[in-house]
Structure 1
Amino acid sequence: MRTAYQYRLRPTKQQATEIDRWLSMCCAQYNYLLADRFNWYEQNRCPVNACPLVCHLPELRDNPDYYSQKKTLPELKKTHSHYGDIYSQVLQDVVKRVKVSFDRFLKGDSNGKRSGKPRFKPRNRYRTFTYPQMKDGCLQGNLIDLPKLGKVKVILHRPLPDGFKVKTASVTKKVDGYYLTLSLEDSTVPEIKPNINPELITGIDMGLKEFFTTAEGETVTIPQHYRKAQKRLRVVQKRVSRRKKGSNRRQKAVKQLGKQHKKVADKRKDFHFKTAKNLLQKYDVIAHEDLNIRGISRSRLSKSVHDAGWGNFLSILTNKAENAGLLVIPVKASGTTQECSSCGTKVPKKLHERWHECSCGCSLDRDHNAAIVIKNRSVGHPDFKAQLMSGSSSRSH
């Protein structure tokens, strides 16, 4: 099992300067390698090497894949000696990032979904470099040994869990300082607890009136961190707009604006973690709708959807359930608000109708009804059935 812990870094002035220099050089190399890929793509997208009616086309060249671009790094260090100051595996990870972004553009991800055309990154948008491999014992007390950067102070606000090994380390520059993200692995942790209780199951219906409603009728209010901070953000944004582009005063205003946005994001993230923890303390199995959040966020509800942060919450809930050995099941989202939770009859309702009334006598809140429907659908889900089978077999033994 893999998990990630993030800590605050306290580098010295010399180390902070070196981190900024590495980010600048990695950004330049990323853009150069991406341009090389685009050059190949434009010249070789057609397999025909000549056009008899117009002119001769340039010769086709080999696709600049991960290994061919990786072989250019030793030559890069000869022609640009300052790249020798960067740890070799950090540079190799830049090549990997180019490969992943370009492959998603051409081939798509594991589900076949293609991403948009990769963009060249300006310096202020390239904020992270990664060590793909870390030695055992790299973390000693409150210091971490990063190759070619030395020992950097870490604020260990929580200890690493027992039995986990540090696999990778990423250094990120944010508006309020530097952060370290450690990717941890432990192969001994079970995926799902063998003694999971299938009766402790609930369904949650995500909403914009309430953050979610459970099948038991419990609701959680949306804190609306962004909307509450809009007045302050508007003042700081005007301050940025009035500053002259390229001036030091504008840079200070942009930094202040970034801190305000990060404060909102941190509050939302804290709310998501606490809410997920409370859910997992009550239930062993949680079902939710498999929502097309990207599609919904393009509608007129986009601000409210982004402020609620459904996608981040469901991701946090799934990860915490995996760590605890519990089960989170996504079910089909279509028709959950129109279907009666008692008899299964379709009861059409418009968006402004917030109460469910059925001829069978079922009368309850619209979101509460949808949560019960989601719970009922999860019982027939293959993951839930497999867990019931494994649980019954373990109890029989």
Structure 2
Amino acid sequence: MRLAYQYRLRPRASQVQDLNRWLDMLRSQYNWLLAERFDWWELNRCPVNACPLTSSIAPPKEQPDYYSQKRSLVTLKKERSGYKEIHSQVLQDMVKRVGLAFDRYLKGDSKGKRSGKPRFKGKGRYHSFTYTQADNDWIVGNLVNLPKLGSIKLIQHRPLPEGFDVKTACISKKADGWYITFSLLDESVPTINPDIDVKKGVGIDLGLKDFLVTGDGLHVPIPQYYRKAEKRLAKEERKLARKKNKASKRRAKRVCKVAKLHAKVANQRKDFHHKTAVLLLRKYEVIAHENLNIKGLARTHLAKSVHDAGWGTFITILANKAEKAGCLTIGVNPSGTTQMCSDCDAHVAKTLSDRRHCCPHCGLELDRDENSGRNMWKRAEGHPVLKARGVRSTSWTVKREAHPIPLCG
């Protein structure tokens, strides 16, 4: 199992200068190598039996790849001695990023989905670098020893888990400071618990009135952090818009302040997602959720509220935490789950303003989102993983209990 632990760094002023210089040098070389790939592509993208409009009489160049561009780092260090200060693993990882960005543009990822055309990184647009071979011994007390950078103060708010080995270390620059992310690995930890109790399962319905409602009646209110910070953000962005000189220090301070406000909203939302995921996984071992078309919903008049809720991020966090806990999350098709009665499967038409489910056939009355959560779980019971554990019934088996939201995750 792989984990990622992130800690805050407190570098000295001289170390901040070194970190910023490294990022700027890596950005410059990233742009150079990306331009080299684009130059080759413009001259060689036509088939062999066709002549490109933009052609050269020069002999064709060898296609640049990860290995050829990595070999060019030797010449780079000879011609520009400043790059000798940067650790070799950091430079090689930068070359790898160029290759990944270009390959995803031409070939796509493992699922065949292609990314957009890679962009050249402007000043301040290159935010991180990675040591690809880190070690547990790098952390000594409240310090982390980074090769060619020295010892930097580390705010270790939680210890690294026992049995896990540190594999990589990524140093990133954010609006509110510097951070280091350790990638940990322990191959002895299983990903899914073979003894999952399917009776401890539930379906959840995501929404904008409540963030989520479970099939057994737990309502988690939606915090709307962006909505609450909207007035202050608008005020600071108006002040930023008045700074016309893009090279002035005052404008740079305003940019930093607006970025910190946005970072605070994002951190609040992320913290809420983590705590809500922990709340669910402490009680349930199988969680069925909706496979929502979030991109489509984000193009409607509800776009701001959809982005503020962050359903996609929450589902990803929930799936990752479930894997660590040996639990299971199942995505189901939400079509018709609101209109169908969870007791007798009858179709009960509702409008968006109807917040109660009242079935005229069986007499079931409950919250419409709770009814939808029950239907989610009924559909999840047909999942192959659950069928392998002997589940065949589609009856509602989760008992109704009250579970207040804890103050901490």
- TM-score (normalizing by structure 1): 0.92
Counterpart residue identity of residue 166, structure 1? V
Match of 1:366 in 2: 368
1:193 is displaced (CA, Å) by 2.3
Counterpart residue identity of residue 176, structure 1? D
Match of 2:211 in 1: 211
Match of 2:262 in 1: 261
Inter-CA distance 240–156: structure 2 relative to 1 (3 Å threshold): same
Inter-CA distance 338–115: structure 2 relative to 1 (3 Å threshold): farther
Match of 1:395 in 2: none
Secondary structure at the aligned position of 1:145 is classed as strand
Match of 2:314 in 1: 313
The residue correspondences of 1:332-371 to structure 2 (distance < 5 A) are 332-361=333-362, 362-371=364-373
Secondary structure at the aligned position of 1:111 is classed as coil
Q: Within 2, Cα distance between the matches of 1:162 and 1:388? A: 35
Match of 2:287 in 1: 286
Counterpart residue identity of residue 101, structure 2? S
Match of 1:392 in 2: none
Q: Within 2, Cα distance between the matches of 1:209 and 1:165? A: 43
Match of 1:384 in 2: 386
- TM-score (normalizing by structure 2): 0.89
Secondary structure at the aligned position of 1:144 is classed as strand
Q: Within 1, Cα distance between the matches of 2:304 and 2:200? A: 34
Counterpart residue identity of residue 232, structure 1? R
Secondary structure at the aligned position of 2:173 is classed as strand
Inter-CA distance 349–34: structure 2 relative to 1 (3 Å threshold): farther
Inter-CA distance 164–228: structure 2 relative to 1 (3 Å threshold): same
Inter-CA distance 188–353: structure 2 relative to 1 (3 Å threshold): same
Q: Within 2, Cα distance between the matches of 1:53 and 1:287? A: 54
Q: Once structures 1 and 2 are overlaid, which stretch shifts more, 183-192 or 344-353? A: 344-353
Query: What do the CA deviations read for 1:210-268 (whole angstroms, capped 9, x no partner)?
Result: 10110112211110000000011111101111113211111111111111111111111
Secondary structure at the aligned position of 2:222 is classed as coil
Q: Within 2, Cα distance between the matches of 1:113 and 1:262? A: 29
Inter-CA distance 345–68: structure 2 relative to 1 (3 Å threshold): farther
The residue correspondences of 1:109-124 to structure 2 (distance < 5 A) are 109-124=109-124
Q: 2:202 touches 2:284 (CA, 8 Å); kept in 1?
A: yes
Match of 1:202 in 2: 202
RMSD between aligned residues: 2.1
Inter-CA distance 54–251: structure 2 relative to 1 (3 Å threshold): closer
Q: Within 2, Cα distance between the matches of 1:50 and 1:276? A: 56
Secondary structure at the aligned position of 1:184 is classed as strand
The residue correspondences of 1:163-178 to structure 2 (distance < 5 A) are 163-178=163-178
Inter-CA distance 53–181: structure 2 relative to 1 (3 Å threshold): closer
Q: Within 1, Cα distance between the matches of 2:346 and 2:207? A: 22
Match of 2:399 in 1: none
Q: Within 1, Cα distance between the matches of 2:66 and 2:53? A: 36
1:96 is displaced (CA, Å) by 1.1
Q: 2:105 touches 2:117 (CA, 8 Å); kept in 1?
A: yes
Q: Within 2, Cα distance between the matches of 1:201 and 1:177? A: 41
Counterpart residue identity of residue 340, structure 1? C
Higher helix share: 1
Q: Within 2, Cα distance between the matches of 1:48 and 1:304? A: 51
Identity of aligned residues (%): 56
